[in-house]
Amino acid sequence: MVTSGLRWWLRVVLLLFGILCIDSLYLAATDLAAWFSGASRENGIYLWAFLVHLVLGLLILVPFVVYGIGHARRGRFRPNRRAVAVGWGLLWIGVALLVTGVALVRVEVFGIRFGIDAPAVRSVIFWVHAASPLVAIWLFILHRLVGPRLRWTGGLAWGVGGVVTASLAFAVSTGTPVKRPPLDVPVALATSSTPAFAPSLLETAHGGTIPTEHLLGNEHCIECHADAHAQWADSVHASSSFNNPLYAFSVRNTRQAMLDRDDDLGPSRFCAGCHDPAILMSGSWEQARWTDPAAAEQVAIDPLGSASIGCIVCHGIEDVSTLGNASYTFEDPPRYPFAFSGSPFLQWVNRQLILAKPDFHKRTFLKPVHESAEFCGACHKVFLPEVLNGYKWLPGQNHYDTWRLSGVSGRGIGSWYWPAQISDDCNGCHMPLVPSDTVAAGIRDDSG
């Protein structure tokens, strides 16, 4: 028997459970599509749906406990024993659903991390959590069939509406974005298809500039990748821009020379594609402060002027070619909710979402291209374009082809030196794997 007081709690439980089912249908459809296609379908909408799932899952805890205890106490001695038995089964399945949901959450509070990380254990918990709603719906129908009659019209309408809503959300959010085709031109004529980036070969996936805040933010990376950030901070990649006095002097003179010769800063962008990608992609390269010697000290500590080759500009690269001079395509990585919020609490929520579901973060910021020698070759291969020197296309410093033609790569048949162990990429020598105890550290051997 459901009293008027318990009926209110029941309505809250059914409402939250119904919304959770719609949300779960969308999440499950996205995951199944990824499983069948072999390609991730997760995006910003998926992450918001995941956040809604977590919030509603926490909100339903109290109403479920209040209603479950109250209803069980009033109905445990009812004469309809079949309804009572099914009701107890439904209650415990609900408990299993909520307990496994909480068990899957990974959270960090005051620097202390709570959660289960063991993949095998998480897999068992996940499948119990995924199957429990189906069993709960079946038991709820049985519970009502052996109990008082229930009007099913409203429930069926909710069910059909939920399936349609989840299907539409899936169809809208998992469309394949249109990619810009690569330029098919001789290397001497190669340049970016975006005038704001030429004559560097830099491309963005959508063909425009990127918001400045989307290109910065190393401080967020430090929270989970402290050791990797420390290694980067000691490297020349961290001082490739106006925080490097030698480069700053050179590029200021180049900019001034182009202004004197052509009254145009355009040719100097050839430098920025590799040395100042954040400045170039944000559309800030034309600002006069980068040319002014009097502003040298100020721009050296400016967030953009000191950004150099930061975390985002490298890990946002999705494709490269071996032409050099910034021959890469950058795609603004989709972020977890509240990534750019100024609220400490919402920043904490953002971090918890990454901890709770890190796979999307891994796929977004570590792509197969990042482990290839060609990725490094996109910048470690230089040429001077005719628009810069006013003469003709000339090759410059070229680490990539030198490596590829050597015995070290295993491809240079004319090399005089062949090491016992060849190197398939640059990372083996320049970025070898090292032990780490950070939260982002993983096992990088044949054990998985």
Q: Are residues 251 and 225 in the same domain?
A: yes
- Among 147, 173, 199, the domain-final residue is 173
149 lies in some domain: yes
Q: Are residues 252 and 378 in the same domain?
A: yes
Beta bridge partners of 330: 204, 317
Largest CA distance in the chain: 98
Q: Are residues 258 and 197 in the same domain?
A: yes
In the chain, the amino acid numbered 95 is V
Q: Are residues 227 and 146 in the same domain?
A: no
| Residue 377: Cβ-neighbour burial (10 angstroms; 0-12, 13-18, 19+) | buried
Number of domains in the chain: 2
Region 111-123: mean pLDDT is 83
Q: Are residues 228 and 280 in the same domain?
A: yes
Q: Are residues 148 and 262 in the same domain?
A: no
Highest mean pLDDT range out of 14-23, 96-105, 241-250, 389-398?
241-250
Region 215-237: mean pLDDT is 92
Residue 151 C-beta-side C-alpha neighbours within 13 Å: 4
Is the pLDDT at 83 greater than 80, yes or no? no
Query: Distance between CA atoms of 182 and 166, rounded to whole angstroms?
Result: 35
Q: Are residues 216 and 129 in the same domain?
A: no
Q: Are strands 328-330 and 381-384 parallel, antiparallel or unpaired?
A: unpaired
- Among 139, 173, 207, the domain-final residue is 173
In the chain, the amino acid numbered 278 is A
Q: Are residues 222 and 245 in the same domain?
A: yes
CATH assignment at residue 48: 1.20.950
343 lies in some domain: no
Give the pLDDT of residue 446: 40
Q: How far apart are the first and last CA of the chain?
A: 53
Q: Are residues 66 and 160 in the same domain?
A: yes
Q: Are residues 159 and 284 in the same domain?
A: no
Residue 411 phi, psi dihedral angles, 5° rounding: -120, -15
Is the pLDDT at 346 greater than 70, yes or no? yes
- Among 120, 138, 173, the domain-final residue is 173
In this predicted model, what pLDDT tens digit does every residue of 283-328 receive, in sequence order?
999 999 999 999 999 999 999 999 999 999 999 999 999 899 999 9
Q: Are strands 203-204 and 328-330 parallel, antiparallel or unpaired?
A: parallel
Give the pLDDT of residue 90: 87
Q: Are residues 161 and 192 in the same domain?
A: no
Query: Distance between CA atoms of 408 and 417, rounded to whole angstroms?
Result: 8
In the chain, the amino acid numbered 68 is G
Residue 309 C-beta-side C-alpha neighbours within 13 Å: 19
Give the pLDDT of residue 14: 87
Peptide bond into 181 cis (omega under 30): no
Q: Are residues 63 and 102 in the same domain?
A: yes
Region 403-428: mean pLDDT is 85
Instruction: Note down the domain range covering 299.
Output: 187-333+372-431
Give the pLDDT of residue 445: 47
167 lies in some domain: yes
Is the pLDDT at 380 greater than 90, yes or no? yes
Give the pLDDT of residue 177: 47
